[in-house]
């Protein structure tokens, strides 16, 4: 299916904020900074969307000159893009500074001096944005350090996921965050919420009455959220072995995606309303039953450097989630994510009830229709429906109409971190997780955390252990 021509829209080349801003990126020489955060800053510079006056201070434990840090960022852009030659590199680089020596409550390193100099250069009314691109285990101590060194007042702070690793650690971290900051200052990232295709799920539902009318338990048999990867964990072995697929993906990304599907229509599409609607949906998640969770580990995982020979870390997790409200009661939400699987896929699929389930006798044997959103790259909407098979013999056949969501005229889709950083600048919280929703998510898995099922082996290049297939019965996974 070819998208209808649309009127081209020019990107807005104007600063997001008129206020001078200093970004402090903690963990600036780490993998997250190199691959995602620094490229997003440069993309915003290319689009003219950074404030007219700004500085980016990289904070790290090592020692680098400002020029060495600029070289580091340039090398990151050359590896991951956008290319320095394709944007205002010299102007961008002049705004990059580095503060070594780490940052703790006991020792702020060079940060206070570098920050003071940057603020003096920018003049009055400078806003500071703290961006924590550091391991989650360091969030608590860094938050305490903000208070100790007087860096909290009037600033904004961005926490990467996971925000906590259990209900207990979530409560401990959030109590400190709430002590140091006002909630309006805090932005908690789950970057899957910033995928353009993820946002398309929301807008397609509410802009199309035919979709909105069937978005409920009367017509939907199952909702499936699938994030599959063919890659292993070689580049992140130490982090991954301490975390696993369930904590890395299910209780973070996939819970948020499920809540995006499940939420009630918000009062409007403004930032506060969208976040509140997702949070409310998460609070309706029933406590996860360990018997409805399957954990797997691909054969050969323990042979990876950095992984203990006796590791029982899950590289795949699948579960059945129930949402106790009038819209979704009785509809299973099937969530699955894993490494070394058959294909690279990111999908949200609504499996509709069959004609027989709806009490229709004509064509009662027809396959269930599906409405599926691909979240990869620019995204796509795929609608599978049953029609008459051509020819004298007739019969039924199912076909799929696909609408590529990046096929319209206008600006190219923006990467998630470009959206997120711009939203921090404007104070737009629509793409960030809410504290009550996160509390509900950790509460929903608390019983499972105390009684984790056995980790089952699976062959690389498959869809995981057979037990995961059984979660979809009497139906089947859309990806199979």
Same domain, yes or no, for 347 and 222? Answer: yes
Asked if residue 35 belongs to a known ligand binding site, the reply is no
Q: What values do phi and psi take at 462, rounded to 5?
A: -120, 180
Contact by Cβ (8 Å): 316, 337: yes
pLDDT for the residue numbered 12: 41
CATH code for the domain in which residue 149 is found: 3.40.50.720
pLDDT for the residue numbered 197: 77
Place of tokens 């050969």: 300
In three-state form (DSSP H/G/I as H, E/B as E, the rest C), the secondary structure along 375-404 is: CCCCCEEEEEEEEECCCCCCCEEEEEEEEE
Same domain, yes or no, for 232 and 370? Answer: yes
In three-state form (DSSP H/G/I as H, E/B as E, the rest C), the secondary structure along 103-144 is: CCCCCCCCHHHHHHHHHHHHCCCCEEEEEECCCHHHHHHHHH
Q: Is residue 16 part of a domain?
A: no
Residue range 300-342, pLDDT digits in tens: 999 999 999 999 999 999 999 999 999 999 999 999 999 999 9
Determine which of 13-27, 39-53, 71-85, 353-367 has the lowest per-residue pLDDT on average: 353-367
Q: Is the pLDDT reported for residue 127 higher than 90?
A: yes
Q: When comparing pLDDT for 445 and 195, which is higher?
A: 445
Asked if residue 34 belongs to a known ligand binding site, the reply is yes
The residue-averaged pLDDT of 1-7 equals 36
Determine which of 37-46, 238-247, 276-285 has the lowest per-residue pLDDT on average: 238-247
Q: Is residue 332 part of a domain?
A: yes
pLDDT for the residue numbered 9: 33
Among 235, 474, 459, smallest CA distance to 356 is for 474
How far apart CA 177 and CA 370 sit, in angstroms, is 42
Which of 160, 185, 203 is the C-terminal boundary of a domain? 160
CATH code for the domain in which residue 240 is found: 3.30.360.10
pLDDT for the residue numbered 236: 79
pLDDT for the residue numbered 362: 61
How far apart CA 65 and CA 69 sit, in angstroms, is 6
Number of domains the chain is built from: 2
Among 300, 298, 296, smallest CA distance to 309 is for 300
Which of 144, 160, 176 is the C-terminal boundary of a domain? 160
The residue-averaged pLDDT of 258-274 equals 89
For the entire predicted model, the pTM comes to 0.89
Q: What values do phi and psi take at 24, rounded to 5?
A: -115, 115
Same domain, yes or no, for 69 and 140? Answer: yes
Q: Is residue 297 part of a domain?
A: yes
Per annotation, catalytic residue among 66, 130, 203, 253: 253
Same domain, yes or no, for 100 and 149? Answer: yes
Same domain, yes or no, for 197 and 320? Answer: yes
Which of 160, 182, 202 is the C-terminal boundary of a domain? 160
Q: Is residue 104 part of a domain?
A: yes
* 253 labelled catalytic: yes
The whole-chain average pLDDT of the chain stands at 91
Asked if residue 278 belongs to a known ligand binding site, the reply is no
pLDDT for the residue numbered 17: 65
How far apart CA 293 and CA 334 sit, in angstroms, is 10
Q: Is residue 425 part of a domain?
A: no
Q: What values do phi and psi take at 189, rounded to 5?
A: -85, 135
pLDDT for the residue numbered 232: 92
Place of tokens 């006798």: 361
Pairing of strands 370-374, 345-352: antiparallel
Among 298, 227, 225, 235, smallest CA distance to 461 is for 298
pLDDT for the residue numbered 1: 39
Asked if residue 353 belongs to a known ligand binding site, the reply is no
Asked if residue 292 belongs to a known ligand binding site, the reply is no
pLDDT for the residue numbered 378: 77
Residues 262, 265, 270, 273, CA torsion sign:
negative
Determine which of 2-16, 119-133, 311-325, 418-432 has the lowest per-residue pLDDT on average: 2-16
The residue-averaged pLDDT of 412-421 equals 86
Same domain, yes or no, for 202 and 84? Answer: no
Q: Is residue 99 part of a domain?
A: yes
Same domain, yes or no, for 111 and 209? Answer: no
Same domain, yes or no, for 248 and 376? Answer: yes
Print the domain residue range for 128.
Answer: 21-160
Q: Is residue 13 part of a domain?
A: no
Asked if residue 143 belongs to a known ligand binding site, the reply is no
pLDDT for the residue numbered 188: 97
Q: Could you tell me the pLDDT band of residue 237, with boundaries at 50, 70 and 90?
A: confident
Q: Could you tell me the pLDDT band of residue 352, with boundaries at 50, 70 and 90?
A: very high
Among 252, 222, 434, 433, smallest CA distance to 328 is for 222
Q: Could you tell me the pLDDT band of residue 205, with boundaries at 50, 70 and 90?
A: very high
Reading the block at residue 283, the tokens are 């609070």
pLDDT for the residue numbered 234: 76
How far apart CA 419 and CA 201 sit, in angstroms, is 16
Place of tokens 């600063």: 15
Residue range 134-182, pLDDT digits in tens: 988 899 999 999 999 999 999 999 999 889 989 999 999 999 999 999 9
């Amino acid at each position: 299916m070819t998208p209808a021509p649309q009127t081209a829209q020019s990107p807005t080349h104007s600063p997001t904020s008129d206020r001078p801003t200093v970004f402090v990126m903690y963990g600036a020489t780490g993998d997250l900074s190199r691959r995602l955060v620094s490229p997003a800053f440069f993309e915003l510079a290319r689009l003219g969307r950074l404030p007219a006056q700004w500085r980016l201070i990289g904070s790290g434990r090592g020692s680098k000159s400002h020029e060495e840090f600029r070289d580091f960022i340039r090398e990151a852009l050359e590896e991951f893009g956008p290319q320095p030659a394709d944007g205002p590199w010299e102007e961008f680089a002049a705004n990059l500074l580095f503060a070594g020596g780490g940052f703790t409550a006991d020792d702020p390193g060079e940060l206070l001096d570098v920050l003071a100099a940057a603020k003096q250069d920018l003049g009055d009314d400078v806003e500071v944005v703290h961006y924590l691109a550091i391991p989650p285990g360091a969030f608590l101590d860094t938050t305490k350090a903000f208070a100790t060194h007087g860096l909290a007042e009037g600033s904004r702070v961005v926490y990467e996921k996971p925000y906590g690793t259990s209900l207990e650690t979530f409560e401990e971290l959030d109590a400190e965050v709430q002590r140091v900051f006002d909630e309006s200052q805090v932005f908690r990232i789950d970057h899957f919420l910033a995928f353009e295709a993820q946002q398309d799920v929301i807008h397609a539902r509410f802009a199309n009455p035919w979709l909105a009318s069937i978005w409920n338990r009367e017509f939907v048999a199952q909702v499936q959220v699938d994030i599959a990867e063919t890659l292993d964990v070689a580049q992140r072995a130490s982090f991954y072995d301490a975390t696993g697929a369930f904590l890395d993906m299910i209780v973070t990304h996939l819970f948020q995606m499920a809540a995006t599907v499940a939420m009630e229509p918000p009062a409007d599409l403004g930032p506060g309303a969208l976040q509140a609607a997702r949070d409310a949906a998460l609070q309706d998640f029933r406590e996860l039953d360990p018997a409805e969770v399957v954990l797997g580990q691909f054969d050969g995982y323990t042979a990876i450097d950095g992984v203990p020979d006796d590791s029982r870390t899950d590289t795949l997790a699948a579960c059945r989630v129930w949402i106790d409200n009038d819209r979704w009661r009785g509809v299973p939400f099937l969530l699955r994510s894993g490494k070394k699987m058959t294909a690279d896929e990111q999908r949200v699929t609504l499996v509709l009830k069959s004609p027989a389930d709806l009490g229709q006798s004509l064509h009662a044997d027809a396959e269930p229709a599906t409405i599926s959103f691909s979240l990869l790259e620019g995204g796509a909407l795929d609608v599978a429906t049953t029609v008459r098979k051509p020819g004298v013999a007739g019969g039924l056949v199912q076909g799929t109409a696909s609408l590529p969501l990046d096929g319209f005229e206008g600006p190219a889709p923006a990467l998630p971190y470009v959206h997120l950083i711009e939203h921090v600048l404007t104070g737009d919280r629509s793409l960030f997780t809410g504290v009550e929703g996160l509390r509900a998510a950790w509460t929903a898995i608390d019983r499972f955390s105390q009684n984790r099922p056995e980790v089952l082996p699976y062959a690389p290049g498959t869809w995981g252990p057979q037990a995961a297939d059984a979660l979809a019965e009497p139906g089947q996974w859309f990806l199979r």
